[in-house]
């Protein structure tokens, strides 16, 4: 077994009409905000991607998908997470469960949590019983509480796959 942790933060901007909304876990939450980003700004998927990469000591999302690379502009963050899962699989590991927290002052996410869980579980090919998404406000203080930023954290537990079926044995447990 291995454990991985990831976190991410993006600044928020007010946007009305086209291009508005927050991508969270691969689902779009309709609101008059947008996360400033080179990609779609999905902080939850970015935190999950870093957790997966961290679990197999494979670096981080910024190293694999630099925001200076034109091919990553407006890229769907589910691509990053899928690529991280392929890397983990190549090293012999797959996720058992993932626990996450989103920090956002508004809009309230409670009603959207089931959609976010379903979407994240689908991308990670996990049952929804293995995926948890929590949401907290910033109590109106600091960059989260003042509505200037959104952040997310993820912790993932990875289990070893059938070793004979993997391409690489560079992780010793």
Instruction: State the residue for tokens 């008059």.
Output: 32
Q: Is 50 exposed, middle or buried (0-12, 13-18, 19+ CB in 10 A)?
A: buried
Q: Would you say the C-alpha torsion 33, 67, 8, 130 has a positive or negative sign?
A: positive
Q: Kindly tell me which of 34 and 46 has the beta carbon lying closer to Mg ion.
A: 46
**Continuous segment of H or E residues that includes residue 44:** helix 43-55
Verify binding: residue 8, Mg ion, rule CB under 5 A: yes
In the chain, DSSP finds a helix count (H) and a strand count (E) of 5, 7
Rounded to a whole number of angstroms, the minimum distance from the CB of residue 8 to Mg ion is 4
Applying CB under 5 A, what is the total number of residues that bind Mg ion? 2
Does residue 46 belong to the site contacting Mg ion (CB under 5 A)? yes
Nearer to Mg ion by Cβ, of 46 and 91: the residue is 46
Smallest separation (angstroms) from Mg ion to the CB of 81: 12
How is residue 164 written in tokens?
Answer: 């004979």
Closest to Mg ion by CB, 44 or 121 = 44
Q: Using the rule CB under 5 A, give the single segment among 45-53, 68-76, 122-130, 137-145 that binds Mg ion.
A: 45-53
Yes or no: say if 158 and 1 are a contact pair by the CB < 8 Å rule. Answer: yes
Span near Mg ion by CB under 5 A; candidates 13-21, 44-52, 83-91, 158-166: 44-52
Instruction: Decide: is 153 part of the binding site for Mg ion (CB under 5 A).
Output: no
- Binding residues for Mg ion, rule: CB under 5 A, are 8, 46
């Amino acid at each position: 077994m291995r454990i991985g942790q990831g976190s991410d933060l993006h600044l928020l901007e007010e946007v009305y009409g086209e291009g508005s909304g927050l991508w969270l876990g691969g689902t779009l939450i309709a609101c008059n905000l947008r996360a400033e980003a080179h990609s779609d700004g999905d902080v939850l998927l970015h935190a999950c991607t870093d957790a997966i990469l961290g679990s197999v000591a494979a670096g981080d999302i910024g190293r694999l998908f630099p925001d200076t690379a034109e091919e990553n502009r407006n890229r769907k963050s589910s691509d990053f997470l899928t690529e991280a899962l392929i890397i983990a699989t190549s090293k012999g590991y797959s996720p058992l469960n993932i626990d996450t927290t989103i920090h956002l002052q508004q809009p309230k996410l409670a009603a959207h949590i089931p959609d976010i869980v379903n979407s994240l579980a689908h991308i990670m090919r996990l049952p929804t019983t293995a995926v948890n998404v929590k949401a907290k406000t910033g109590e109106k203080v600091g960059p989260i509480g003042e509505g200037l930023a959104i952040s997310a954290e993820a912790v993932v537990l990875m289990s070893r796959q059938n070793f004979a079926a993997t391409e690489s044995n560079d992780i010793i447990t």
